[in-house]
């Protein structure tokens, strides 16, 4: 009896079961865009039902990605996982970009606010929180990636050196992001550069070697024993089902959270910048926490870094496309000076975070620094909007943003100078990986 309950398919059944209430709600209300918390469903009910569905879908997504590692390069499987995990954020931002193209200036600012909030949450809560969780869980998981060292806050999570390509591409995108506000919006040139950068990255990782870097257990191990046609079918179904559930459930989940927050007096703009992205980032954080709990922190961090690269390239690049389609002509998604400051602080945080990872590890102290800087900035901004009225609130808030941007830049540039040898290793590994990929592609074409 007990062994039957430990069967991997039982876990799959539980994940599917928690998706059912949302599927019933989604169908009974008429499909996508018909579930509106506060109008035809209670906000708390929407958060509960959609939240459970996102949780179940996140596990299905993680299992599909791990199973796929037997047939495709691990980096590519993780890149697909990262794209699907952040798809909810794409959907939310695309909605605001579409409204902006239809003539709403406020929606354009909301699109940028939501995008920058999501990026900062991914690093400020995601990277730091998962690092601290990994170190905390090491005694139970015996995770080989955790290095315990003497001293205060010196324990570290070692990263896979194969992640150098993602880190270097993320650095290029981050440096470019500093220049985006100078043109007053996100335009066609930004789209071409950022989506092109992501395309080059995918072209490199997809040509990597197909290896299973470590033995899987549980659900992925069970499915990896399937014959290849059945295994591929399971992977595709896992990606499609989890992607569909996450895509359809995250907007009602985020909207329900916003409604609940507004009931407690939290300003709408603040909710859209922080609570909505927190909801849309939840699938990914759940997936990574699951991997860490299985002592697969290396794969978890690879997914987090890949997701940041996706958001910092594809997400920003596609905003201008959605805006242009909605407007009926090629154009630039505009934003105000406040959102320009939001982009700069987001780029500053990204630069510091990349500098932290430049030596292929993150220590407890570095994780705490990322978390404290993120948390204090959000709390400071919340204090400002609660205490001051417009336009004073905006001016004070921008001063806070500029101050934190300066701190991030000083810390980041200081680390880069101290770790210049590590940066050289990063670049050398990336160039070597790119050359190997191009050589492999050329050999295939010649053959």
pLDDT level of residue 422 (50, 70, 90 thresholds): very high
Asked if the model's pLDDT at residue 39 lies above 60, the reply is yes
Rounded to whole angstroms, how far apart are CA atoms 104 and 230?
Answer: 48
Out of 130-139, 209-218, 322-331, give the one with best mean pLDDT: 322-331
The pLDDT of residue 2 is 45
The arithmetic mean of pLDDT across residues 35-48, rounded, is: 82
DSSP 160: P
| Predicted confidence band of residue 395 (pLDDT cuts 50, 70, 90) | very high
**Are the beta carbons of 85 and 303 closer than 8 angstroms?**
yes
Q: Which residues pair with 37 in a beta bridge?
A: 41
What is the per-residue pLDDT across 224-234, written as a single tens digit (0 to 9) for each?
888 888 988 98
pLDDT of residue 239: 86
Residue 41 phi/psi, 5-degree rounding, is -155, 145
| Residue closest to 15 by CA, chosen among 286, 278, 200 | 286
Residue 264 pLDDT > 90, yes or no?
Answer: no
* pLDDT score for 3: 46
Residues 6+ apart with CB under 8 A from 132: 364, 367, 368, 371
Nearest alpha carbon to residue 334 among 109, 98, 89, 93? 109
pLDDT at 208: 58
Rounded distance, CA 434 to CA 317, Å? Answer: 23
**167-221: pLDDT as tens digits:** 999 999 999 999 999 988 999 999 999 999 988 888 887 765 544 445 555 788 8
| Range picked from 23-27, 168-172, 246-250 for highest mean pLDDT | 168-172
* CA–CA separation, 259 and 280 (whole Å): 15
Over 80: is that where the pLDDT of 80 sits? no
The pLDDT value recorded for residue 75 is 61
At 76, list the tokens.
Answer: 């590519």
Q: With 80 as the cut, is the pLDDT of residue 58 above it?
A: no
Q: Has domain 2-436 been given CATH number 3.30.750.24?
A: no
**Whole-prediction pTM value?**
0.80
Q: Which long-range contacts (CB under 8 A, 24 or more apart) does 5-10 make?
A: 8/218, 8/219, 8/221, 8/222, 8/223, 9/222
* 406: Cβ contacts below 8 Å, ≥ 6 apart: 348
Token reading at 189: 């040139």
* pLDDT higher than threshold 90 for residue 406: yes
Q: Is the pLDDT of residue 389 over 50?
A: yes
Please list the helix, strand and coil fractions of the chain in percent, rounded to the nearest 5, in that order: 80, 5, 20
* Residue 368 pLDDT exceeds 60: yes
Task: Report how far apart, in Å, the C-alpha atoms of 377 and of each of 128, 170, 408, 411 are.
Answer: 15, 23, 12, 16
As a whole number, mean pLDDT of residues 321-348 equals 92
**DSSP states of 259-274 as a string?**
HHHHHTT--HHHIIII
Q: Report the length, in residues, of the chain.
A: 447
Segment 368-393 mean pLDDT: 91
* Residue 283: band (very low, low, confident or very high) from pLDDT cuts 50, 70, 90: low
Question: How far is it, in rounded angstroms, from Cα 44 to Cα 37?
Answer: 8
């Amino acid at each position: 009896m007990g062994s039957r309950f430990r069967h991997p398919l039982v876990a799959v059944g539980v994940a599917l079961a928690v998706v059912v209430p949302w599927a019933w709600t989604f169908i009974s209300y008429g499909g996508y865009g018909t579930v509106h918390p506060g109008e035809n469903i209670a906000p708390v009910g929407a958060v509960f039902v959609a939240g459970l569905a996102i949780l179940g879908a996140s596990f299905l997504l993680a299992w599909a990605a791990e199973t796929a590692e037997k047939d495709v390069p691990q980096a590519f499987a993780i890149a697909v996982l990262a794209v699907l995990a952040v798809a909810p954020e794409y959907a939310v931002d695309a909605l605001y970009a579409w409204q902006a193209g239809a003539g709403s200036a406020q929606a354009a600012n909301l699109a940028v606010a939501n995008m920058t909030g999501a990026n900062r949450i991914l690093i400020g809560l995601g990277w730091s929180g998962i690092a601290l969780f990994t170190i905390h869980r090491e005694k139970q998981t015996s995770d080989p990636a955790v290095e315990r060292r003497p001293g205060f806050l010196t324990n570290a999570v070692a990263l896979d050196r194969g992640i150098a390509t993602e880190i270097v591409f993320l650095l290029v995108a981050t440096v470019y992001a500093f220049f985006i506000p100078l043109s007053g919006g996100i335009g066609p040139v930004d789209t071409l550069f950022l989506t092109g950068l992501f395309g080059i990255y995918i072209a490199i990782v997809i040509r990597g070697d197909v290896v299973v870097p470590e033995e899987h257990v549980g659900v992925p191990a069970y499915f990896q024993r399937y014959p290849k046609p059945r295994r591929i079918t399971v992977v595709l179904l896992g990606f499609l089902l989890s992607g569909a559930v996450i895509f359809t459930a995250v907007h009602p989940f985020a909207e329900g959270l916003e409604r609940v927050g507004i009931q407690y007096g939290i300003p709408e703009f603040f909710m859209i910048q922080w609570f909505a992205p927190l909801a849309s980032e939840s699938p990914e954080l759940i997936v990574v926490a699951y991997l860490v709990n299985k002592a697969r922190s290396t794969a978890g961090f690879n997914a987090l870094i890949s997701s940041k690269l996706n958001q910092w390239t594809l997400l920003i690049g596609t905003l201008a496309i959605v805006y242009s389609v909605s407007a009926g002509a090629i154009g630039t998604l505009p934003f105000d000076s406040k959102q320009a400051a939001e982009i700069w602080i987001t780029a500053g945080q990204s630069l510091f975070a990349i500098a932290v990872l430049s030596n292929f590890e993150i220590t407890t102290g570095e994780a705490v620094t990322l978390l404290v800087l993120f948390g204090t900035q959000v709390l400071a901004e919340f204090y400002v909007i609660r205490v001051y009225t417009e336009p004073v609130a905006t001016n004070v808030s921008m001063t806070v943003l500029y101050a934190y941007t300066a701190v991030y830049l000083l810390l980041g540039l200081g680390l880069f100078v101290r770790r210049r040898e590590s940066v050289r290793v990063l670049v050398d590994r990336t160039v070597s990986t790119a050359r190997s990929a191009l050589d492999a592609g050329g050999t295939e074409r010649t053959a």
